[in-house]
Amino acid sequence: MSGARRIGDFAWEIPTDFKPGMRVPGVVFADEELFEAAGRDKALDQVANVAFLQGIVGRSLAMPDIHWGYGFPIGGVAAFDESSGVVSPGGVGFDISCGVRLLNTGLTEDEVRPGLRDLMATLASNIPKGLGTRGRIHSTESVLRKVLTRGAREMVGMGYGHEEDIDHTERGGAYPGADPARVSARAFERGADQLGTLGSGNHFLEVQVVEKIFMEKEARAFGLHEGQVTVMIHSGSRGFGHQVCTDYLQVMDRVVNRLGWELPDRQLACAPLGSGEADDYLAAMACACNYAIANRQAQMHWTRESFEQFFKASDRALGLHLLFDVSHNVARMEDHQVDGRRRRVCVHRKGATASFPAGHPDVPAAYSEVGQPVLIPGDMGTHSYVLVGTETAMKESFGSTCHGAGRTMSRSKAKKTIRGPELKERLERQGIVVLAGNVKMLAEEAPEAYKDVSRVVDVCQGAGLSSKVAMLRPMGVLKG
């Protein structure tokens, strides 16, 4: 990319003169190949565009899984001063709080492998999945309002899980500041029957085995060891979050027009922090975060029930303990060091994960001595990773790291070049049991449609944004 310069083994700078109007430089964490791929994708232009926004501090950032998105690139991170900055729905995305939950088990691969196909069938029968799927929970408006306010806490109160699950969930199971009154009637309609559903696209439930441990102390703290079976749930806020984003993009567009702001991309529509529109969006976004966390909590509950049914033992006897639940698409008010002083900023992470170090106030007490677990999902047939947050991330990336592999191929192109049934057969030959509601749609999420997740993770480790704790190999995949 003309004008960009390398500033480290795993970092590139886009200077402010790349586009007149940039308030801060852009920085992309990548090796040479990943950086060039981002340039071809035009995602680097989006990194520069974000740098135009009012009140942005430090740098406009992108993780190595960067690719083109709506307004902000996916993999984008930016922080805005609380008194002069903005909040932008495009900096969070449509699937608000899309995230990952990892469930540890006390089982080994040898104990699970012989009955894996039947276990996956049990999971498939218990967990609703697929585009437009209705859930098992009858969500009246009064129930939904409680879920939007209390998140996983409300689900546990309804019997979907254990009290200790809350202690191993980001933000104690519920984002603060949620106000259902800031949510449209249409969002309520779309969310009413989708609570506890896996969804489609890149969302999945995967039975995995811990193949390799990189950091013994951290792995012990996380309850991980080689040969252990885990379950990863990757899901989000479904139609509810999508509607919240859609609604507030229209609101923000009117704000931009009223204030006469000129933006390099209308998809960056935003509102000043502290304004009524910004407060409304953040309150509605928190509702969508709590919906997503509750959604994953319900799916984990039915995962536990599936294991209980299959192994004829209680979930506690089987060692089914939640390791952590973390969101990828959020905007949060946080305190960070910027230009040598502590500042309150609104950190947008779109396709990026918080990566807080040991002792950080947002790290659950169980992990305070080692740091926050960072959960990085792979793509069917590829490894997933458990990482841990670092001090370097606090200094270099507002406490952020990657969230996955990042696409290299559009869904439409993937469907044209890859056949779903052939992909399923290939994965089965690798020992991966695949159950999908629509086999033809599998092609959209083929491993070759994504970057190499191991490479992305290695770049984050090389840049100091997170450290590898464990590598997980897929055994069985449940897709919508």
Question: How do residues 171-221 score in pLDDT, each as one tens digit?
Answer: 999 999 999 999 999 999 999 989 999 987 789 999 999 999 999 999 999
Note if 168 is an active site residue: no
Paired residues of 249 in beta bridges: none
Helix (H, G, I), strand (E, B) or coil at 160: coil
d(CA 43, CA 132): 30
List the catalytic residue out of 203, 301, 336, 403: 403
pLDDT, position 320:
98
Ramachandran category for residue 145: left, alpha or beta (phi over 0 → left; psi -120 to 50 → alpha): alpha
Burial class of residue 368, CB neighbours in 10 A (0-12, 13-18, 19+): middle
Helix (H, G, I), strand (E, B) or coil at 323: strand
Residue 429 has pLDDT above 70, yes or no: yes
Question: What average pLDDT does the segment 66-72 reach?
Answer: 96
Task: Using alpha carbons, list the distances in angstroms from residue 42 to 1, 60, 67, 206, 408.
Answer: 10, 15, 8, 32, 12
Residue pLDDT, tens place only, 280-314: 999 999 999 999 999 999 999 999 999 999 999 99
pLDDT, position 131:
63
d(CA 11, CA 25): 12
Question: What average pLDDT does the segment 84-89 reach?
Answer: 98
- Residue ranges of alpha helices (H) inside 181-320 are 185-191, 216-222, 238-259, 276-311
Q: How confident is the model at residue 133 (pLDDT cuts 50, 70, 90)?
A: low
Residue 11 has pLDDT above 90, yes or no: yes
Residue 395 has pLDDT above 90, yes or no: yes
- Structure token digits, residue 284: 């509605």
Q: How confident is the model at residue 436 (pLDDT cuts 50, 70, 90)?
A: confident
d(CA 396, CA 284): 29
Question: Are the C-beta atoms of 208 and 88 separated by less than 8 Å?
Answer: no
